[in-house]
Structure 1
Amino acid sequence: MPYSDLLKQLPEQFFAKLAKRVAEKVAEGHDIINLGQGNPDRPTPPHIVKAMQEATADVANHKYSPFRGIDELKEAIVTFYKREYDVTLDAETEVAVLFGAKAGLVELPMTLLNAGDTMLLPDPGYPDYLSGVALGHVNFETMPLLAENQFLPDYAEIAPDILERAKLMYLNYPNNPTGATATPAFFEETVQLAKQHDFVVMHDFAYGALGFDDVKPSSFLQTEGAKEIGVEFYTLSKTYNMAGWRVGFAVGNKEVIAGLNLLQDHLYCSIFPAIQVAAAHALTGPQDCVEEQLAVYEARREALIQACSKVGWSVTAPAGSFFAWLKVPEGYTSEAFADLLLENASVAVAAGNGFGLHGEGYVRVGLLVSPERLVEAVERIAHLPEFSTVFRSKVH
């Protein structure tokens, strides 16, 4: 039975392909240290699970949810943003409940753009941004994220005609895959640019809780004028280890939020109410678990950096997220280097070219295993015949 042209044009799911290769190696009996995943490895905190259990037992939650989410969750989102970022939101007009942030990221181009319109995407960037491009039949231009610019787009390098055509821009800080963070000054520049050229900004704040060295990542909505031109997407997946629960939200500009809600009215009947109750409890309940988790990731980051330094692999510590962005040695492409590590060291990493043209020359490493396993992974790589003194000198 033939598939539709729409289905045929969808990009290959990068992470599904990676997961399949790792699963095949595990099935063959290899002890794979999987640093290629972006799936939190720690459990959801017990007080959130308990809230979910109690809400599941409540028969009132066995019915359809209101289309646009329960009031308890929307009010909790408002409370969370005021407490964490001193941003004031209206629960009815400035909040959209999402089936995980990914759903909203894919829906937004279909909400705001017509076929043939142009949006701006970071390169490297989260691969699933391209799913929204394909489903919305829109065009895109890339904004290179380069080390010499702290992995922030250089707006002066974007051609004026592209800025004039652009209707939507995606940003993501703390950044996946580079681990970079954004400054308030950069967000101010972004707001002014969006106003000048009349486009919408979407800031993907999935890793908002994960800033290292006692530096808390800024919300885009803390920037003066941000709500006039943009929205911010947040997910409970990373902050509260609720990846499998599939719950997130968008906040900000009323018109964008209304459009997202309208589209979702035709796609879903919102999320299982008990999950929404638990999500509200996560946002407004004890936050010790968030601080504890940040300390865990920071300890893992230090273990990785120190292990790499010990074997002569000079790497830059990420400022946020739970990823490290590591250069590959000269003579290797990202994919060839990732293949080498999987085949010969049983270490899985994500090839940088899977995140875009400017991801070539890097691999992404997830801080999603214990410090001991991170150290073991580096030691396995160091014992490869290819990891000679010459090899090490070329990854500085």
Structure 2
Amino acid sequence: MTPDFYRIKRLPPYVFAEVNAMKAKARAAGQDIIDLGMGNPDQPTPPHIVEKLAEAAANPRAHRYSMSKGIPGLRKALCAYYERRFNVSLDPESECIVTLGSKEGLANLAQAITSPGDVILAPNPSYPIHAFGFIIAGGAVRHIPAAPGREFLEAMERGVRHSVPKPMAVIVNFPSNPTAYVADLGFYEEIVDFCRFHKIWILSDLAYSEIYFDGNPPPSVLQVKGARDITIEFTSLSKTYNMPGWRVGFAVGNRHLISALTRIKSYLDYGAFTPVQVAATAALNGPQDCVEEIRSLYRDRRDVMIEGFAQAGWDIPSPSASMFAWAPIPKPFRHLGSLEFSKILMEKASVAVSPGVGFGEYGDEHVRVAMVENRHRIRQAVKSVKTFMSNASEILEEVERRARQKQTS
């Protein structure tokens, strides 16, 4: 018997799996793949955070069940961060919860607040959990443009006019994964005004708030007057402190949404390992020089990558934030689509990137390039891409020949 599970049926095949399998096969064969695909920081967690983890883990009392909503000290530290960074005051008891990364928080919030058939406005392209968290929960997703601006707002207006039922929530993610778009407070003010009028929840993903390079630090939507009435915002320590595997994130904002998330999580988990939470508290309360060092590292890698790829014949807009560049597929290869281009780039240049279609169908003319290799490796990638681009005609002839052979076989 082959079971046909309802929620699994609603999920398309995971696009990245094909690229990851190809990458694993190439490495098993001894090929050196320069991996600019997964957004997985390659640098270690700052030593003072690791030391605090070890210290806390040495205490046997810390080995017991933790608290699903997070230990009080960590919630207070997160609220203190919001106070000094955004000038936003939060109650650590009713307006803050610790999550197992922002991805888990978003997925469980979807389970907590979504009724079958509820309509969610989600950017396309966007990080997959933004849309599929609600699809898994039984909701319906209406796509809106990913870039902040007039088209985003107009799409929201169309969503209200033409969706039945009316949208119950909108997802905003700036700095964005995968596009690296950044929003300003003026844009957030328009979003808040619109959503307050139409009684729509705002679900903000601010995971890349501290990875910025040019101009002012990205704002929080909670800085807007009245936003707290309708907004929950997710953040994470993964990129800010090089802690992706630690799985520490947060949700703050509207107390009704926080309460709903807290209640559903109380049935699902006992929170992160207490020493991890103690170390996360040390990260937020401790010296922040490490954050500037991490930011500078990505800025330096960005400059090397953008300049080098341009010289190789691949023009990529320079991101002002996040650890990603949203790269248009080079024109000779654009007709192939992002998945096929990603596979050919890995095969011929030994460079792995993420196909844009994995973030939504409107991302299919782009690939996401992550700044997770050092300068030397990025320069290696540039050399490989330069050779790849100079041989574009021959590579495309080979691709077409393979396609014809496949059709006739």
Q: Which of the five TM-score ranges fits, normalised by the shorter chain?
A: over 0.9
Q: Is it true that 1:362 corresponds to 2:366 in the alignment?
A: yes
Q: SS where residue 166 of structure 1 aligns? A: coil
Which runs of structure 2 are paired with 1:204-223 in the superposition (5 Å)? 204-223=205-224
Which runs of structure 2 are paired with 1:240-389 in the superposition (5 Å)? 240-328=241-329, 329=331, 330-384=334-388, 385-387=390-392
RMSD value over aligned CA atoms?
1.9
8 Å CA contact 2:145, 2:155 repeated in 1: no
Indicate the larger mover: 74-83 or 293-302.
74-83
Q: SS where residue 169 of structure 1 aligns? A: strand
Which residue does the alignment assign to 2:44?
43
8 Å CA contact 1:177, 1:323 repeated in 2: yes
Unaligned runs of 5+ in 1: 392-396
> Identity percentage over the alignment?
39
Which runs of structure 2 are paired with 1:74-89 in the superposition (5 Å)? 74-89=75-90
Structure-2 change in CA distance of 1:73 and 1:300 (3 Å): same
Which runs of structure 2 are paired with 1:144-155 in the superposition (5 Å)? 144-145=145-146, 154-155=152-153
Unaligned runs of 5+ in 2: 397-409
**Structure 1: distance between partners of 2:212 and 2:364:** 25
CA positional deviation for 1:9: 3.4
CA positional deviation for 1:223: 1.5
Q: Normalising to structure 1: TM-score of the pair?
A: 0.93
Structure-2 change in CA distance of 1:345 and 1:165 (3 Å): same
Indicate the larger mover: 255-264 or 328-337.
328-337
8 Å CA contact 1:145, 1:153 repeated in 2: no
**Structure 2: distance between partners of 1:346 and 1:311:** 15
**Structure 2: distance between partners of 1:69 and 1:37:** 28
| Equivalent AA in structure 2 for residue 359 of structure 1 | G
Q: Is it true that 1:233 corresponds to 2:234 in the alignment?
A: yes
Q: SS where residue 339 of structure 1 aligns? A: helix
CA positional deviation for 1:163: 9.0
8 Å CA contact 2:169, 2:202 repeated in 1: yes
Per-residue CA deviation, residues 222-278 of structure 1 (Å, 9 max, x unaligned), is 111111110110011010111111111100000000000000001011111111101
Which residue does the alignment assign to 1:394?
none
Q: SS where residue 134 of structure 1 aligns? A: helix
- Would you say how many aligned residue pairs link Structure 1 and Structure 2? 387
Which runs of structure 2 are paired with 1:83-122 in the superposition (5 Å)? 83-122=84-123
Q: SS where residue 135 of structure 2 aligns? A: helix
**Structure 2: distance between partners of 1:91 and 1:194:** 25
CA positional deviation for 1:211: 1.1
**Structure 1: distance between partners of 2:343 and 2:392:** 14
8 Å CA contact 1:145, 1:358 repeated in 2: no
| Equivalent AA in structure 2 for residue 141 of structure 1 | R
8 Å CA contact 1:14, 1:127 repeated in 2: no
CA positional deviation for 1:161: 2.5
Structure-2 change in CA distance of 1:201 and 1:301 (3 Å): same
Q: SS where residue 55 of structure 1 aligns? A: helix
**Structure 1: distance between partners of 2:96 and 2:16:** 29
Structure-2 change in CA distance of 1:286 and 1:124 (3 Å): same
8 Å CA contact 2:79, 2:92 repeated in 1: yes
**Structure 2: distance between partners of 1:262 and 1:315:** 44
Per-residue CA deviation, residues 145-166 of structure 1 (Å, 9 max, x unaligned), is 25xx67x852113412239710
Structure-2 change in CA distance of 1:67 and 1:355 (3 Å): closer
CA positional deviation for 1:8: 4.1
| Equivalent AA in structure 2 for residue 292 of structure 1 | E
**Structure 2: distance between partners of 1:164 and 1:196:** 16
CA positional deviation for 1:313: 2.4
